[in-house]
Structure 1
Amino acid sequence: MTIRLGLQIPNFSYGTGIAELFPTVIAQAREAEAAGFDSVFVMDHFYQLPMLGSPDQPMLEAYTALGALATATERVQLGTLVTGNTYRNPTLLAKSITTLDVISRGRAVLGIGTGWFELEHDQLGFEFGTFTDRFEKLDEALQIILPMLKGERPTFAGKHYRVREAMANPRFRDHIPLMIGGSGEKKTIPLAVRHFDHLNVIAGFDELAAKIDVVKARCDDLGRDPATLETSMLVTAMVDERATPDLIPSGMRQRMVVGSAESIAEQLQEKVFDAGVDGVIMNLPTSVQGYQPGQITALGAALKPLTAG
Structure 2
Amino acid sequence: MSTRRVRVGLQLQPQHADYETIRRTAAEAEEIGADILFNWDHFYPLYGEPEGKHFECWTMLAAWAEQTSRVEIGALVTCNSYRNPELLADMARTVDHISNGRLILGIGSGWFEKDYDEYGYEFGTAGGRLDDLAEALPRIESRFAKLNPAPTRDIPVLIGGGGEKKTLRLVAKHAHIWHSFGDVPTIERKIGILRQHCADVGRDPAEIEISSAVEGKPSEVGPQLRDLGVSLFTIGVGGPDYDLSALRDWVAWRDEVNA
Q: So what's the TM-score if we normalise by structure 2?
A: 0.90
> SS in structure 2 opposite 1:120?
helix
* 1:127 aligns to 2:119 (yes or no): no
- Could you tell me how far apart the structure 1 residues matched to 2:164 and 2:35 are? 28
SS at match of 1:46: coil
One-letter amino acid of the structure 1 residue matched with residue 40 of structure 2: M
Q: Is the 8 A contact 1:219 1:225 kept in 2?
A: yes
Which 5+ residue runs of structure 2 have no aligned equivalent?
A: none
Q: Distance in 2 between matches of 1:101 and 1:2?
A: 23
Equivalent in the alignment of 2:132? 137
Give the CA deviation at 1:206.
3.2
> Larger relative contact order (C-alpha < 8 A, sep ≥ 6)?
2
Aligned AA (2:218): A
Give the Cα–Cα distance (whole angstroms) in 1 for the partners of residues 173 and 6 of structure 2.
19
Offset of 1:233 from its aligned partner? Answer: 0.7
Change over 3 Å in CA distance of 1:175–1:222 after alignment to 2: same
Q: Deviations over 1:216-272 (max 9, x none)?
A: 22222322221101111122xxxxxxxxxxxxxxxxxxxx32xxxxxx111222442
Q: Is the 8 A contact 1:43 1:62 kept in 2?
A: yes
For 1:95, the aligned partner's letter is D
Deviations 1:8-47 (A, max 9, x none): 0124324xxxxxx223222222222222221100000001
Partner of 1:39: 36
Which residue of 1 is the match for residue 174 of structure 2? 195
Q: Does 1:9 align with 2:8?
A: no
| Structure 2 counterparts to residues 107-186 of structure 1, below 5 A | 107-151=102-146, 168-186=147-165
**1:218 alignment counterpart:** 197
| Separation in structure 2 between the aligned mates of residue 77 and residue 25 of structure 1, nearest angstrom | 16
Match of 1:88 among 55, 63, 83: 83
Contact 1:113–1:138 (8 Å) recurs in 2: yes
1:62-109 per-residue CA deviation (whole Å, 9 max, x = no partner) reads: 110011111111011111000001111112211211111011011111
* Equivalent-residue separation in structure 2 for 1:227 and 1:143 (angstroms): 22
Contact 1:3/1:38 (<8 A) preserved:
no
Q: Which structure: larger Rg?
A: 1
Q: Select 2:237's aligned residue among 284, 287, 290.
A: 284
Shift of 1:303: 3.1
Measured against aligned partners, the alpha-carbon deviations of 1:130-165 in whole angstroms (never above 9, x if no partner) come to 1122112112211211111123xxxxxxxxxxxxxx
Does residue 70 in structure 1 map to residue 23 in structure 2? Answer: no
Distance 1:285 1:66 in 2: 17
Q: Does 1:269 align with 2:231?
A: no
Secondary structure, aligned partner of 1:278: strand
RMSD: 2.1
**Helix, strand or coil: the match of 1:282?**
strand
Q: How far off its partner does 1:299 sit?
A: 3.3
Per the normalisation by structure 1, the TM-score is 0.76
Task: Report the AA paired with residue 222 of structure 2.
Answer: Q
5+ residue gaps, structure 1, are 15-20, 152-167, 236-255, 258-263
Q: 2:45 aligns with which of 26, 48, 73?
A: 48
